[in-house]
Amino acid sequence: MADVKELLQRHTAFWNHERQGEPLMRLRPMHYRRPFDDLDVTPDMLDVDALTPEVGHRDWRKRLVQGDLFHGEHAFSRIPWMEALVGCEIHSGTDEAMWPRPALGPDFEGMDAIVPADDNPWLQKLLALTQALVDANDGSYMVTHTLMRGPSDLLSALLGDERMGLAFFDAPDTVCEILTRAREAFIKVARAQYALISAFEGGWSCWAYGLWAPGSVIRFQSDSSSQLSPRMYREHILPHDRAIMQSFDYSIIDLHSGGTLHIHKELMDTPDLNAISVTMDPYANAPRVEDLLPTFAAILEAKSLLVTGEMTMAEVERLRDALPTASLAINAHVTDKLLYERPI
């Protein structure tokens, strides 16, 4: 337990944006998940007993500590839980993606259902899966909140991408009301999960990142801000993201190397945010680790940074050597070929 306590101190240093020390690192092989192929998905299709072993990969050495990070388990995150909870129907494509169908009518009918009721079937299923993980915990993992997308993503899910873009100009007051309800839904759902999850040494871990914090912690994202300028994000979305940040002791928001990294400066100036994560997009037109080192260094001047996703071992070593600081964490799925390099 002494080694775990020492590791918890390093995690606390990460959240406190301390610079002296080594990066936190976890290296894992690539894994592939069982697909749901080309069908509409409803809560009754999610069998708790059948899916609990699929929630994460608890057979990975059955160890609480994985490198410098922790083994976390969360409710089956293939499901876009927040989109379903705010009223969207969910369809599974022929690959690993699941997509929401826009839920609001032409006059924004359906807004009253954005904040889910306590008896919402999706909420009940999410909490049942979370409770199953709590009950099954043998000490080899921490139970965490599931993957939760933020207000901008819920706005896009409820309206569709094109309509969302127009609504910022055609109905800005309604957009603000939708975003307000979306953030209320987010906070309610996160707190409902936390009500089931016991603290570990006085803190919790966030989603699949393996980062423990000495208090409540939330990880969320703003992928649909890829369609917005930094100014539009700052004016329309950031106030709602900040409300989420302020609702928990610690917060980390995820950006994509090929999609939303352009808003990082707005987040660097946000006092309520502790850390930024950057998911490395494994596409031919996405920047590589080497390209992003100056951006990562700039982020680290203001916030702690987690870099996650597919990386080659050479990229992991370059990142570690270029940015040797305790406020950096690396959560890598190590591969010898990035996605765009693989044969079809």
DSSP assignment string, 300-314: HHHSEEEEEEEE-HH
Residue 189 identity:
V
Residues 6+ apart with CB under 8 A from 66: 26, 28, 60, 210
Residue 283 has a pLDDT of 84
Edge-to-edge strand ranges of the sheet holding 24-29: 24-29, 328-334, 304-311, 275-280, 250-256, 217-221
Q: What is the per-residue pLDDT for 37?
A: 61
The whole-model pTM stands at 0.91
Per-residue pLDDT at 182: 99
What the block records as the tokens of 18 is 């301390």
Q: Which domain, by its residues, includes 279?
A: 2-341
Beta strand ranges found along 206-262 (DSSP E): 212-213, 217-221, 250-256
CATH number, domain containing residue 133: 3.20.20.210
Give, for all 344 residues of the chain, the pLDDT tens digit.
569 999 999 999 999 999 999 999 999 876 545 556 666 888 888 888 776 654 444 455 578 999 999 999 999 999 999 999 999 999 987 666 889 999 999 999 999 999 999 999 999 999 999 999 999 999 999 999 999 999 999 999 999 999 999 999 999 999 999 999 999 999 999 999 999 999 999 999 999 999 999 999 999 999 999 999 999 999 999 999 999 999 999 999 999 999 999 999 999 999 999 999 999 998 888 999 999 999 999 999 999 999 999 999 999 999 999 999 999 999 999 998 766 675 54
Separation between Cα atoms, residue 172 and residue 168, nearest integer Å = 5
What is the pLDDT, as a whole number, of residue 59? 54
C-alpha R_g of the chain: 19
Domain count, the chain: 1
Beta strands in the chain (DSSP E): 24-29, 39-41, 65-66, 69-70, 72-73, 89-92, 98-101, 142-143, 204-205, 212-213, 217-221, 250-256, 275-280, 304-311, 328-334
